[in-house]
Structure 1
Amino acid sequence: MVCVSLNLAHCSPAATPFARSDARGHSRLVTGAASGIGAATARALRARGANVVLLDLHLEAVEAVARSIGDGQMLPIAADVTDREALDAAVRQSVAHFGALGVVFANAGIVASPPTTVASIDPDVFERVVEVNLLGVWRTVRAALPQIIANQGHVLVTSSVYAFVNGVVNAPYAAAKAGVEQLARALRVELARHGATAGVLHPGWVATPLARNAFGGHETVTRMREMAFPAILGKAVTPEAVAARVVDGIARRSPRITAPRRWEAVAAVRGLIGPLTDRGLVRDTRLHELIRRLEH
């Protein structure tokens, strides 16, 4: 155990009363549940017997996911994750329908499409990406916290490997995901005295609509991914592969989940690799030309 207190008495195991159950019998709320990681995680949670609340912007989309799973233990709800009142209402509806809420997976996210530079992006687009990816996570978590604390539950938030790799032409996304990571780290400590826990998910490239531009949907963006990421890290995994890691991580109350696992080595030495890769990107004139193309 690592302790930063100057009073070693504060570092006893009794000072970190993490609950070790996986909150069986309590429902799970998943945002961004209409597609991608969210929908795959909802299916995986239901396969393990959980009651699942599916939340996304459009009701018909989450209803379609619920129908595809094919039983009555799913509650579709439409809400905008940037709307605090709507999220409060969603939590109340979840509790009224299923009883106690034990897990919240704040997963909803968007990207600028196509990505571009800080100098050329529409300011409204930049702020919307941050609004959904960071403040939307904060508002989701804040709405669920009374239930999480009361039930010694678990919070999981979706960050990204972009929390620790260079966010060139994806600055609003990377900035938001770095903020989400810090939110989860702080929550983990703050919730400890309640017996509740928090964790952060760091997905790499995932085969979802968010990544379409980087995998053939936009020639310049695809070329940038191929140049900036080694082949082993530039491959996309399925949402189902990430979901499998997510449900295991929730059950274990893991502080960090990295998917796919090959990114774990990068995460472990991020403080060393980051400055080196930044230096290489600054000097790469081929990359500079691709950035120029995105700006025009």
Structure 2
Amino acid sequence: MARYSLTGRTVLITGATGGIGTATAHSLHAREANVVLLGRDTTALSALARRLGEERVLPLTADVTDPAALDEAVARAVHRFGGLDVVFANAGIAPARPATMATIEPALFERIIEVNVLGTWRTVRAALPYVVARRGHVLVNASVYAYVNGAVNAPYAASKAAVEQLVRALRVELAGCGATAGVLYPGWVETTMSRVAFGADLLATQMRQAAFPRLFAHSIEPELVADRAVRGIERRAASITVPRRWQPVGVLRGIVNPLIDRALIRHKPLQSLLRSLESGARDVRGQSGCGPGCGYQAVGHHRCAH
């Protein structure tokens, strides 16, 4: 497929003031694209627009969980630049610290699904008619957690697996109209979100070191992710994995994942850390706990509250 030039194209980015979003905005702007910046922090959006030079830039405040706000943002982008060619659904959140399924607050679990899954769906839905009209491209930021075991990060992993499936379906559905869609699979990236596993939280850091082989335990700069993402858009790539060392894991997931799950179940240092995590959560909440081996206990039809 011929290279999809971004010069003069209009690209909308959600989560624009995060590490990957900001780096991607700079990369797109350098390719002379019109960049529409969506985020919730008006001050940060304005500052990013100034750094980009404000020419060919439109900063808009919008929450991806608000369909009306997204529709309005897309309409303003189309009014300003005459159309919309590419949407990068990049907004996402994760727990501030690790938590098991037994100890995570239900409201937090559901908020992560709301932002990461429904926020992606609402972003794509608002932009799709305009992207299709221009035979453009949809890019969704998933993660290697779309196929990596999500222990102590279950809602994030579940959300990333979900958006991967959204894009797979969408790419087939768009095949007859000239538009395309792709998934971005970053590994560990040096952003605010990942700092919890790189020193900000001791237990999270220990778990990362215990669960991930050294080759896969290092973080990369968001600029590298942005460069690969933009080049992926130019190729209309179905998938973009960065760093590339994760590609074999993704390709061979049907074989590798059961082996990894089995190894993690038998990994005594990791299991010890999991029990410490749950014990700490119970202590903070003043609970007596649900037993020494796990975070649950059957009491009739009820589950022990955490």
Structure 1, gaps ≥5 residues long: 1-17
Which residue does the alignment assign to 1:218? 201
1:63 has 2:43 as partner: no
Q: 2:22 aligned to 20, 39, 46, which one?
A: 39
- TM-superposed CA distance for 1:35, in Å, is 2.0
Supply the RMSD in Å over aligned alpha carbons. Answer: 1.2
Which residue does the alignment assign to 2:111? 128
Q: 1:80 aligned to 59, 63, 68, which one?
A: 63
- TM-superposed CA distance for 1:234, in Å, is 0.8
Which residue does the alignment assign to 1:290? 273
1:88-99 equivalence runs, <5 A: 88-99=71-82
1:53 has 2:36 as partner: yes
- TM-superposed CA distance for 1:51, in Å, is 0.4
The one-letter code matched in structure 1 to 2:149 is N
TM normalised by structure 2 equals 0.89
Which residue does the alignment assign to 1:280? 263
Q: Is the 8 A contact 2:36 2:60 kept in 1?
A: yes
The one-letter code matched in structure 1 to 2:246 is W
Q: Is the 8 A contact 2:186 2:241 kept in 1?
A: yes
Q: 1:151 aligned to 117, 134, 141, which one?
A: 134
C-alpha distance in structure 2 between counterparts of 1:154 and 1:113, whole Å: 32
Structure 2 residue matching 1:205: 3-state secondary structure: coil
C-alpha distance in structure 1 between counterparts of 2:104 and 2:134, whole Å: 43
1:3-42 equivalence runs, <5 A: 21-22=4-5, 24-42=7-25
Task: Give the greater-gyration-radius structure (CA).
Answer: 2
Structure 2, gaps ≥5 residues long: 281-306
Q: Is the 8 A contact 1:22 1:253 kept in 2?
A: no
Q: Give CA deviations for 1:217-250 in whole Å, capped at 9, x if unaligned.
A: 1111001101111111111000000000001000
TM normalised by structure 1 equals 0.92
Which residue does the alignment assign to 2:90? 107
- Give the % identical residues: 57
**Number of equivalences:** 279
The one-letter code matched in structure 1 to 2:97 is P
C-alpha distance in structure 1 between counterparts of 2:210 and 2:269, whole Å: 9
Structure 2 residue matching 1:101: 3-state secondary structure: coil
The one-letter code matched in structure 1 to 2:121 is W
Mean Cα displacement is larger for which, 62-71 or 136-145? 62-71
Moved over 6 A (4+): none
The one-letter code matched in structure 2 to 1:93 is R
- TM-superposed CA distance for 1:276, in Å, is 0.2
1:168 has 2:156 as partner: no
